[in-house]
Chain A
Amino acid sequence: MTTELQHNRRQFLKITATVGGGMMLGFSWLKPYGEAEGAGIITDFIELNGYLKIAPDATGKGSVITILSPNPEVGQNVKTSMPMIVAEELCANWKDVVVEQAPLNTAVFKRQVAGGSQSIRQTWATLRNAGATAKHLLVEAAAQQWGVPASECEASGSFVKHSPSDRRASFGSLAAAAAKLTPPAPEAVKLKDPSEFTLIGTSQGNVDMEAILTGKPVFGLDQKVPGMLYSTALRPPAFGQKLKSYDDKAARAVNGVKDVFKFGNDNKIAVVAISTWAAIKGKKALQAVWEDEGTLESTATQYEAMRQKLDEAAAQPKRNDGDVKAAFATADKVIERVFEAPYLPHNPMEPGNFFANVTADKVELSGPAQAPERFRKEVADLLKRDENTVSIGLTRMGGGFGRRLRGDFVLEAAEISSLAKAPVQHVYTREDDMTAGIYRPACMYKFRAAIKGGQLVGYHLTGAGLNAGNVVRENFFPVGAIEHCLMESHDMPSKVTTGPWRAPVTNFLASAEQSFFDEIAEALGKDPVQFRIELFERARTNPVGKFEYDAERSISVMKLASEKSNWGKAPVGIHQGFSAYFCHNSYVAEVAEVKMEGRKPVVKRVVCAVDCGIVINPVAAINQCEGGVIDGIGHAMYGDFTLEKGKPQQDNFDKFRLIRMGEQPAVEVHFVKSNIDPTGLGEPTLPPAGGAVANAFYKATGQRVYVQPFVKVMKNLG
């Protein structure tokens, strides 16, 4: 195991002590980290609170500031950007900061989840307060030491300074004294005004950069402990099948296979081996017989059922403003369009895996997890253990996109370790990862627009999805901007398992909706951007009911995208498409530019304007926004996933097409300058991307695209 994966407090401190040195009295003010292991005296570092530790550096003159990053890192850069927030308020020199990944500890940390683009938004205040409180203590300690008023001292660059007497002391040298002070009342702690920020808003490199560049073991699959075995599992090949019988003779004959057994309600077969390869080979050698339970679903029949559902009224509409029936009955013109999208696997590059060591008195788990708190409870329930005896260490994740919000791989690992009575690294092959379930639900929408007197007066959206929950967003645009608005959602049962996929629901809803608005604008003879701005103006000045978005911020982000892309004034041969969306508390507008290369429409550039409030770490924020755009385009254009008799037809990257180098457009990201509290960026740039491209394709080819993936219906897309 690497240092990062260790979650035993004393072990952790032992390791860091060799770096920091110094023997000091321990101090713990928030609930101590790992209470059960005995807090009390800590001999090396001074723990000021749950988030940071401060110690003198090796020379004794400087400081080593260790910040524990509590949230799981899935590529969204929280391991760098969250500690930046602490360091800003602490007035630390970023070069003195060492970031460590915290294990799951709900007694200390709030919401240790990577999902919903909420990490920064929901911890912003906590992180700032942690840093500011520590600074308050250090300043107080310096003032007492020097016999001067704290108001005459100031902190910057990991030092406290007293200008009148020209004295300064490093945070490290003050930490021991600061630790003995009574923590200040929360109201005594002062936060900076955003204009005083010196670290937030500057680009800082990924804190795991060196490990990534040199191949250090930081991911879940890289874990190894003495005596560890490797396991794989054979699961029903089709949704709706169960295990009838199996023959494990050939599997047991594979060199290195130690054990084969049933688990998972007797519906799966585990192969435990001394190497990953032996576990994979053993699984392939299993002979299993499966039986159907009821009718097995296929894509064609599922799509037909959804299409039919779109013509039904929902028992309870999600939104019903004005009188939609009358608006459509008296309309000059009605536009009606149906959009469809398939299931999508998440396909994180690191397939599902988890380490588990289940012994008589405890359950040690470690690996890539987006929702460790829930997984801990699920494992405790499954193994009938006290939750306090279950620990989860968090590794860096090789992507997630929502897949690691579901804990099937953690539960399998725990059950297999428990039955094998050994520590195991449980591994999903790529085929397992793609076929074991949990997909973006397949979904369809029917949009209807009522036009009267050259205005959009009525809007009727009906959605139908498989295991999809509510597939409309009844508090998002265009709600608030249209007098008569009806939204209905049908959640249809299916045996195929689903889950949140990057920007759940809106990942397709926005693409379809923004394509439909392009068509309405065209029917009204209006510029697509101007048409939207008029609607948002209506929502701003004379809103219909209540909604979640801020119309003014929506308008300003659209204007920024329009300005930066030179909207409407593109050179000959460049075809622009517009799309804008609000979700996950952030505002995004995108302009896609398409050029015909022979008969092939090619997306050359996307201009993306974003309002996420304060931008913490620009270089990573831009990367995140670009990634969302490219991911959105890739899946809208190429991502297809189908079922025949319950069996997934795509099981690896030779059959499931992901966007590749050379197929991505250039992406230009522009942020709205803002002092509003920050919101997330992991998801918001993805939903509008498909619509922007579809609208640009229409300009370039005259063809509207209603089907995802676009390659299915656009012959020349390649």
Chain B
Amino acid sequence: MAKYNITVNGKKHKVEADPDTPLLWVLRDNLGLYGTKYGCGIGECGTCTIHYNGNAMRSCSMTVADVGEAAITTIEGLSPDASHPLQQAWREHDVPQCGYCQAGQIMSAAALLATTPNPDDEEIDAAMYANICRCGTYNYIKAAIKTAAGKM
């Protein structure tokens, strides 16, 4: 076990974990932040998407040792009161079915809107291709992203 100081949602945390532990499991098992989901473990499904210095990354595919000084944001830290334009749009469109992939979807969409405030269909498709929704809520997700666009 090694000791790490990582910054998650603006707070410093001391964690003890083996260096090869994926950030995903540190968030969930060590810090009790369950919003970041396990889906595939190989960076193919997007349910574990978090922000690493503002960029959407798959937390299953980076280790706790990789985090260093980076600012990590999870769904729990996206907004203090669930008022991020995407969270509001998700509510307005009643997007989720099972809901399991939705935190990852929102985190990918938030990173997209941060750099591309008014994405077109192709930009949304490209940015969201990495996030699978097994229930097939893709059109709802797209509509919600368009609702939130420009409100950042």
Contacts and interface: CB of A to CB of B under 8 A. Distances in A.
A347 B136 CA distance: 13
Contact of A398 (B22, B98, B128): B98
Interface string A227-256: 000100000000000000000000000011
A256 B37 CA distance: 22
B13 to A, nearest CB: 16
Given A214-B82, A215-B34, A215-B74, A75 B131 contact: no
Contacts of A631: 134-136
Contacts of B126: 662
Contacts of A624: 97
Contact of A623 (B38, B131, B140): B140
A626 B136 contact: yes
A342 interface: no
B6 interface: no
Nearest to B107: A215
Nearest to B1: A255
B134 A209 contact: no
Given A349-B132, A652-B40, A209 B98 contact: no
A660 B44 CA distance: 11
Interface string A650-672: 00111000111110101100000
A461 B26 CA distance: 55
A213 B102 contact: yes
Interface in B15-45: 17-18, 20-22, 25, 28-30, 32-42, 44-45
A203 B95 CA distance: 13
A95 to B, nearest CB: 15
B32 A348 contact: no
A660 B132 contact: yes
Interface stretch (A217-225, A484-492, A547-555, A608-616): A217-225
A347 B42 CA distance: 15
Interface string B58-77: 00000000000000001110
A224 B30 CA distance: 11
A75 B76 CA distance: 22
A205 interface: yes
A486 B140 CA distance: 43
A56 to B, nearest CB: 28
Given A213-B106, A255-B1, A277 B22 contact: yes
B97 A77 contact: yes
A681 B103 CA distance: 25
A208 B42 CA distance: 28
A591 B45 CA distance: 30
Chief secondary structure at chain A's binding surface = loop
Contacts of A276: 25, 28-29, 38
A338 B100 CA distance: 38
A230 B75 CA distance: 24
B47 A634 contact: no
A76 B126 CA distance: 28
Interface string A628-666: 111100100000000000000000111000111110101
Contacts of A520: none
Nearest to A627: B136
B33 A397 contact: no
Given A214-B82, A275-B29, A350-B37, A666 B139 contact: yes
B44 A215 contact: no
Contacts of B33: 215
- By CB atoms of chain B within 10 A, which of A210, A214, A256 has the most? A214
Size category of the B interface is 35 or more
A231 to B, nearest CB: 13
A399 B135 contact: yes
A664 B128 CA distance: 12
Contacts of B75: 213-215
B82 to A, nearest CB: 5
A658 B40 contact: no
A217 B17 CA distance: 22
A654 B90 contact: no
Contact of A653 (B44, B95, B97, B99): B44
A598 to B, nearest CB: 16
Interface in B118-152: 121-122, 124-126, 128-129, 131-142
Contacts of A348: 98, 100, 134
A633 to B, nearest CB: 9
Given A210-B82, A275-B25, A277-B22, A626 B37 contact: no
B8 interface: no
B35 A399 contact: no
B94 A627 contact: no
Contacts of B128: 661-662
A213 B94 contact: no
Interface in A391-422: 396-401
- By CB atoms of chain B within 10 A, which of A277, A401, A652 has the most? A277
Interface string A63-82: 00000000000111100000
Interface in A325-377: 347-351
A277 B18 contact: yes
A349 B45 contact: yes
A293 to B, nearest CB: 30
A459 to B, nearest CB: 32
Interface string A133-168: 000000000000000000000000000000000000
Interface string A263-286: 000000000000111101100000
A628 B103 CA distance: 22
Nearest to B40: A430
A28 interface: no
B117 interface: no
A124 to B, nearest CB: 21
Given A351-B39, A398-B37, A658-B132, A626 B45 contact: no
B47 A349 contact: yes
The 4 closest A-B pairs by CB, nearest first: A215-B35, A398-B100, A75-B98, A662-B125
Interface of B: 1, 17-18, 20-22, 25, 28-30, 32-42, 44-45, 47, 74-76, 82, 87, 90-91, 94-103, 106, 121-122, 124-126, 128-129, 131-142
16 contacts: A212-B103, A213-B87, A214-B75, A215-B35, A217-B34, A276-B28, A349-B45, A349-B132, A351-B38, A399-B98, A623-B140, A631-B136, A653-B39, A661-B138, A662-B122, A662-B129
Given A281-B20, A661-B133, 15 more contacts: A75-B96, A208-B96, A209-B96, A213-B82, A213-B91, A215-B75, A215-B76, A275-B25, A350-B37, A398-B100, A623-B137, A624-B97, A630-B136, A662-B121, A664-B138
